[in-house]
Amino acid sequence: MKKALIALAVAALGSMPALAQQTIKIANIVELSGPGTTSGTNFKNGVELAVREINAAGGILGRRIETSTVDTQSNPGVAKGLTQKAVDQDVFAVFGPVFSGSIMVSMAETRRAEIPNFTGGEAAAITTQGNPYIFRTSFTQATAMPKIARYITDQAKAKTLSLIYVNNDFGKGGRDMLMKALEKSQTKIVADVSTESAQVDFSAAVLRARQANPDAIFVYTNEEESARVLRELRKQGWTKPVIGETVLTSQKVIELAGEAANGAVAHVGLTVDAPIPAMRAFRAKFEREYKYITDHNGIKGYTGMYVLKAAIEKVGKLDRKAVAKAMHGLKLRVADHPGILMDVEFDKNGDLDRDSFLTEVRNGKQEVTATLPPLSRK
Amino acid sequence: MRTPLALAAGLAAAAALVALPHFLGRSGVYLLSYWVVFVVATMGLNLTVGYAGQKSLGHAAFFGIGAYTVAILMKAGLSFWLGLPLAALLCFASGIVVGFPALRVQAIYLAFATLGFNTAAWLFMRNEEWLTGGTFGIKDIARPSLFGVSFDGHRAYYYLCLAVAAILAALLYGLLRSPWGKAFTALRDNPIRAESLGVDVRGYTLLAFAIGAAYAGVAGALFAPLLEFIDPAPFSVGASIMMYLMVVVGGPGYFFGPMLGAAVGVVLPEWLRFAQDWYLFVFGAAVVLLMIWLPDGLLSIPGRLRARREARAASAARAAAAARLDGGGR
């Protein structure tokens, strides 16, 4: 009992409210252990890279940014507690968590405390609850899937499609959105194959997808699993199109799948390989700093921090409510804010819209084949 | 608890638990509430594992069934106060069902059987989207109120959890001192002798599971409104193993074991955060060391000290006796 009390008392000391705010305090609440480690680490590294740059250039409104980073263990319950702790510490804004399940729990806390919260989560439900303090750093699946659906119907001209997806909130959410987007189109879904996270053998899944004899197969799983699906497709002699969203043509998948990745096509919201000079420069900076090439989560954290900077500067003072208000309907141009890397606009829900890319794997490299305009511009 | 000192310590601890939230911020109170919820859950597991000796690795499934029962019923417009007993009842019933394998298999085989149950329950929570919301979970679970008193605030909800925990602890205390409690320990220590003495082994094995499960159900019922959102993740096999660890670290078969064990499992990782990137490593290492030095858990320390004192006294007495004998032999 006594030990527990001591532990509790010490834990309490750590959560005392801070004194006068000379710096702008930002809390990184991210997945540094558990299944979300890759996403969380990249997101955090992106945020910290941006913070270092901003501080070196004189901070925001002349104040330095101070970040603290904590690990959620990819556990929603822990994420909620850490967010409360950040609230107790009176931070100006919260970045993360990246996993949708965690942000769904923790954003109630930042909302109650009226603290702007930037998330890497892509589940559609995050921004459909009228929370005025939640902002995305990437597309939601509700934005990305209609774009790829348009490609499947109009460009790939697939009349029939088989789906292979991973049954977690990410995979299931994406599958539901794609089905909705394809509902009124010419493309019919002929097989709907659910797979497990960390599944190793995909021979049965691929066989089922193939046996429906579709014009194309859509693969929506995490990195390792995507690579295994691609290898299995090659093994079973599939030659028609393989289409995906973001993950399928990512660097990690190409490395793991090797030759089998060639020919895979995917819509990508954010990629360090985008044919944009600012993005190339970011890629180089990130690699110099951390000795590896980031996935889209690094871009999310980096641009999210610069979006916050732009919003604060627009308001002209450190007022959380005013900043959150200014974020809704905010339109930013790279010409004015180089750090955001791509033109972006936020709507009243905290969702964002911007250009995105169609990519294809050629000779073991992801190549951008087309730039797709924001959905709002069509 | 027999000496006045222990009684005073108990009263001081109770007073501290009541007073502590007023010295803590939101996050501190939340952590404390989280701890209380896990104390309730592990009290049940302690009964199953520590007192009755049934190796169960499916406790998180009951925890989840409790949480989902309350969440689903509250979403259907029913009261929390109806959901809470229903959660306990449903878990009691599923506990009996899961207890049946325990009549046939023991030890590690039973652990695997319950682990299988946990996986099945988890898959059900994840796949039956019409009922459980699947991977998207159930959001906006309200906190209850009673006779016009709202438990929505973080301190108010903590006191609700604490009150429920206190009632359940008192019930367990009574149960363990009843003939049932004696039967459970008899079952653990020597089932054959227990049966030959007329203990209904079959009935008590099932009861040990069912009552333990009911505690987990109540804990789950408190857990859902605490987070205000549930998805299947906290009810996986990993969570069952964590709860088992809490029981073992605290001291299986000690009444206050779950209080300490849950503190180690819930509070210690948070407290270790000063170690930054290493905090989970430090936590893991601490648990390993604990298991090496104190295989019977933290609460075995007083017993070990007493045993050592007695051993020393006994060996001194032996030495004295030997010296006397040597002297007499000459």
Q: For the CA atoms of B281, B286, B291, B292, what is the dihedral angle to 10 degrees? A: 100
Same domain, yes or no: B292 and B320: no
Residue B1 lies inside a defined structural domain of this protein? no
Pair of tokens at residue A231: 């290898």
For testing contact with chain A, the best of B136, B138, B139, B266 (most A CBs within 10 A): B136
Which residue ranges make up each domain of chain A?
22-139+277-346, 142-268+356-372
For A142-268+356-372, the fitting CATH number among 3.40.50.2300, 2.60.40.10, 3.30.420.40, 3.30.300.30 is 3.40.50.2300
Same domain, yes or no: B312 and B187: no
Roughly how many angstroms between the first and final C-alpha of chain B, as a whole number? 50
Same domain, yes or no: B139 and B238: yes
pLDDT band at B330 (very low <50, low <70, confident <90, very high): low
Pair of tokens at residue A202: 């995909």
User: In this predicted structure, what is the pLDDT of residue A42?
Assistant: 92
What's the rounded Cα separation, in Å, for the pair B288 and B284? 6
Residue B195 lies inside a defined structural domain of this protein? yes
Is pLDDT above 80 for B63?
Answer: yes
What's the rounded Cα separation, in Å, for the pair A309 and B222? 40
Q: How many domains are contained in chain B?
A: 2
Same domain, yes or no: B213 and B149: yes
What's the rounded Cα separation, in Å, for the pair A138 and A121? 8
Chain A residues 165-194 with CB within 8 Å of chain B? 167-169, 172-173
Q: Do B25 and A73 touch (CB under 8 A)?
A: no
pLDDT band at A327 (very low <50, low <70, confident <90, very high): very high
User: In this predicted structure, what is the pLDDT of residue A213?
Assistant: 92
Same domain, yes or no: B309 and B221: no
By the 10 Å C-beta count (0-12 exposed, 13-18 middle, 19+ buried), B69 is classed as buried
Could you tell me the CATH number of the domain that includes residue B78? 1.10.3470
Dihedral angle sign, alpha carbons of residues B20, B22, B27, B30:
positive
Q: Do B263 and A3 touch (CB under 8 A)?
A: yes
- Predicted confidence (pLDDT) per residue in B136-195, tens digit: 788 888 888 888 788 888 889 999 999 999 999 999 999 988 988 888 888 888 888 888
Cβ distance B125 to B68 under 8 Å?
yes
Residue B7 lies inside a defined structural domain of this protein? no
**Domain covering A22-139+277-346, topology:** Rossmann fold (3.40.50)
Is pLDDT above 90 for A50?
Answer: yes
Same domain, yes or no: B318 and B248: no
Residue B8 lies inside a defined structural domain of this protein? no
pLDDT band at B73 (very low <50, low <70, confident <90, very high): very high
Same domain, yes or no: B114 and B142: yes
pLDDT band at B327 (very low <50, low <70, confident <90, very high): low
Residue B35 lies inside a defined structural domain of this protein? yes
Cβ distance A368 to A357 under 8 Å?
yes
pLDDT band at A19 (very low <50, low <70, confident <90, very high): very low
Same domain, yes or no: B168 and B208: yes
User: What average pLDDT score do residues B55-70 get?
Assistant: 93
Give CA B273 to chain center in angstroms: 24
* Residue B168 CB partners (closer than 8 Å, separation 6+): B40, B43, B215, B218
What's the rounded Cα separation, in Å, for the pair A89 and A15? 6
Same domain, yes or no: B82 and B102: yes
Same domain, yes or no: B260 and B168: yes
Q: Do domains A22-139+277-346 and A142-268+356-372 have the same CATH topology?
A: yes
Q: Do A7 and B136 touch (CB under 8 A)?
A: no
B272 Cβ under 8 Å from any chain A Cβ: no
Out of B9, B27, B234, the one facing A84 most closely (by C-beta) is B27
Cβ distance B168 to B66 under 8 Å?
no
The domain of B317 spans 305-330
B27 Cβ under 8 Å from any chain A Cβ: yes
User: In this predicted structure, what is the pLDDT of residue A4?
Assistant: 53
- Predicted confidence (pLDDT) per residue in B186-244, tens digit: 888 888 888 888 888 888 888 888 999 999 999 999 999 998 888 888 898 989 999 99
Q: Provide long-range contacts, Cβ within 8 A and 24+ apart, for A279-284.
A: A279/A341, A279/A342, A282/A341
Cβ distance A30 to A71 under 8 Å?
yes
Q: Can you give the length of chain A in residues? A: 378
Same domain, yes or no: B317 and B193: no
What's the rounded Cα separation, in Å, for the pair A254 and B4? 69
The overall average pLDDT reported for chain A is 87
Residue B70 lies inside a defined structural domain of this protein? yes
Can you give the pTM of this predicted structure?
0.77
User: In this predicted structure, what is the pLDDT of residue A133?
Assistant: 94
Cβ distance B251 to B45 under 8 Å?
no
Same domain, yes or no: B196 and B255: yes
Q: In this prediction, does ipTM exceed 0.85?
A: no
Pair of tokens at residue B66: 């409790």
